[in-house]
Chain A
Amino acid sequence: MRKLLLLGDEAIAQGALDAGISGIYAYPGTPSTEIMEYVQASEYAAQHNVHALWSANEKTAMEEALGMSYAGKRALVAMKHVGLNVAADPFMNAAITGVNGGLVVVAADDPSMHSSQNEQDSRYYGKFAQIPVFEPSTQQEAYNMTRNAFDLSEKYGVPVLMRITTRLAHSRSQVETRPPLPQKPNRLPEDPLQFVLLPALARKRYKRLLTLQEEFLKASEQSPFNSAVLNPVGTTGIIACGTGWNYLNECFPEGNYPGPVYKLSQYPLPVQHIQKIFEQSSAILVLEDGYPFVEEMLSGTFPASKQIKGRLDGTIPRDGELTPDIVASAFGFPAKQTFAPPPVVVPRPPSLCNGCSHADLYLALDEVMQEFGKGKVFSDIGCYTLGALPPYNAIYSCVDMGASITMAKGAADAGMSPSVCVIGDSTFTHSGMTGLLDAVIENSPITVIISDNSATAMTGGQKSHATNRLVEICKGLGVSPDHIVTLVPLKKNHEQNVQVLRQEILYRGLSVVIFQRECIQTSARRHKKN
């Protein structure tokens, strides 16, 4: 047994390697990125030929993992919570097809939106797809659960969802590992029609999934990760989900809880066990990170019999992640006297690096757009989103991966002129290409600026699928070669860049302007290595 100091992300990756995966599929996204990066850095994975390359987006990742499962092998697929929106189509249908080799899907949620556009709670996706969901409290549990999740996935022939949050994903602690299992052999599904979701066949597969619900419930009730602490001193029942369990124990380090406790880390909700907690309680407090997922279910399952406290009744704030202090306050502990941060402390927001290529692009763009007024540039998700802030104030949207191109087209359809968008190279190959095809079909009068720094920079400079391919991709999609222009965003090229950009923005058809210069972070790292 080895003892390692691992992030929650890394514990899952190590757990998956030790569970005998043959591949991991992912697109970078905070706080999930380190799952793939850990496998990429693992000598064991390299020696055992475990697939560990990035996918174009979360949907392709999910489908590739499902294909590996089809072939009989264990596959892990990892993404941030909003990535599961992109992958929702194959995710939902994989619950119907079921799996062959074990398939575990990791969704890393980001309550408090440390690095995200929303704080959606992926447990709803698990319930939506009607599959088992794991929610670890600790790094050790994340490691252990990953193996159990693969076993469960193969036992019932369904994908299993592992839901974590930033706090666990990006916190390190000791993890004891077990000897690794060998990879599975290639083995095709027994039923050759299992993965064919024609309506008549899909109906049968769906009934199978519905029949399994009872088994999933039993698995939750017998799960080693769910447990009750009964014989309480008081009558405030507590349901502690995932990291909520940690904060409960921070408040009551001796285990002297004010009522019966249920530690909940595997779903569906083990109703019978929770019933016991209800019987011993006058009121119930739900500690959960994310949405009031369990809280809502409880009020539906045990209507009006007991007071249920949590995020809905205001005992815990409706948004933001749990903290030990929020949980302490939910138990009525008096607020602590703290030192206040003095007024001399001012915010220090993130900013583009000195020498960043996006900065030179925005200086050129701002100069051109002065002539056309504010509010006519859409953008996307990446470091370049910081162009919305001073000193640039250059962009007016950041919604989801790829939305800059399609929103620019929609606004042009509505008559807005000019209609411009800025998208990164990796975001473009993630979800921008199909939108560009829409614009090609109608020769929409939009200017698509691809800020190509040849990296997925915001998540740490991972390789971008777009590198050295952008011109060919745009040509292949049907953009006129006369209006595919490549510029180099450097101070010395500023005047020329402004002139060419102005020309393309004035053009009343579709043009693509690629501002190409490598991310200075990845460039510096590369030069250091050589």
Chain B
Amino acid sequence: MIPKGKHDMKTDIILCGVGGQGIISISAVLGVAALEENMHIKQSEIHGMSQRGGAVQSHVRISSRPIASDLIPLSSASLILSVEPMEALRYLPWLSPDGWIVSNSQPFINIPDYPSLDSLMHEYSNYKNTVLINADEIASLCGSARASNMVMLGAASRFIHLKPESLVLGIKTLFAQKGPSVIDLNLKAFEAGMQASAER
């Protein structure tokens, strides 16, 4: 785990998955939380064609100091936060040697040549800092599989230099217009993700 020091707090995150899996929502929650803590933030996304069931990624940089580049340099992300297990591995060149991979273990298969789950899991065994969570199952137990993105945010929260209460505020803000039941579902999913991650 990254020590949460008081000085020069910095988290560079590669956020990834497949179009439609809720990456933008994770990014938005991180944005609210970073503003709340008066941290600097940059979030670089690619929109457009990538929405159509293709691979999507976002570079999220959170720091106590001003941030220069919108893009994370290679080999320097402290975290790959993925809602899909193959997508996490796509961005390994950005992961720092001590960085963590926190990913949903459940594949999203919309291409004919998707690799076997065994070969993917074998690949994961090559990296020391990994947390794999069945976010789909945990989200379903919380009430809806659609909240698996918030499960993953919860699971990754211990590697992000933001307070959990700020992330909770972000979730409440993001889902404010959708009513209390949607907020509760996503908060429950977030907390379940935190707990599942702590048990690893």
Q: Chain A residues in contact with chain B, CB under 8 A?
A: 3, 5, 30-31, 33, 114-115, 166-168, 170-174, 243, 246-250, 253, 323-325, 328, 336-342, 344-353, 383, 386, 458-460
Contacts and interface: CB of A to CB of B under 8 A. Distances in A.
Contacts of B89: 341-342, 344-345
B52 A351 contact: yes
18 contacts: A5-B31, A5-B41, A115-B50, A167-B70, A170-B46, A171-B70, A246-B69, A250-B69, A325-B73, A336-B76, A341-B89, A344-B115, A345-B86, A345-B89, A345-B90, A346-B115, A351-B54, A383-B52
A342 B46 contact: no
Nearest to A243: B70
Contact of B47 (A170, A173, A340): A170
B18 interface: yes
A36 to B, nearest CB: 14
B176 interface: no
Contacts of A253: 68
Nearest to A173: B42
B27 to A, nearest CB: 8
B74 interface: yes
B35 A114 contact: no
B93 A340 contact: yes
Contacts of B120: 344
A393 B34 CA distance: 46
Interface stretch (B106-114, B140-148, B185-193): B106-114
Contact of A339 (B68, B95, B111): B95
B36 to A, nearest CB: 11
A217 to B, nearest CB: 29
Contact of A338 (B74, B111, B115): B74
Contacts of B69: 246-247, 249-250, 324
Interface in B34-65: 34-35, 40-55
B86 A344 contact: yes
B174 interface: no
Most chain A CB within 10 A, of B52, B67, B75, is at B52
B182 interface: no
A386 B52 contact: yes
A31 B93 contact: no
B92 A350 contact: no
B119 interface: yes
B22 interface: no
A71 B48 CA distance: 35
A332 to B, nearest CB: 15
Given A250-B69, A342-B89, A3 B35 contact: yes
B123 interface: yes
**Nearest 5 pairs of A and B residues by beta carbon:** A115-B48, A30-B48, A350-B54, A249-B68, A350-B52
Nearest to B59: A171
B71 interface: yes
Given A174-B40, A323-B71, A351-B110, A344 B48 contact: no
Given A349-B111, A353-B52, 19 more contacts: A5-B31, A5-B35, A114-B46, A167-B44, A167-B71, A172-B41, A173-B43, A173-B70, A250-B69, A340-B92, A341-B92, A341-B93, A344-B123, A348-B55, A350-B50, A350-B51, A350-B53, A351-B110, A459-B48
B42 A344 contact: no
B43 A171 contact: yes
Most chain A CB within 10 A, of B27, B69, B76, is at B69
Contacts of B47: 30-31, 33, 115, 170, 460
A323 B71 CA distance: 7
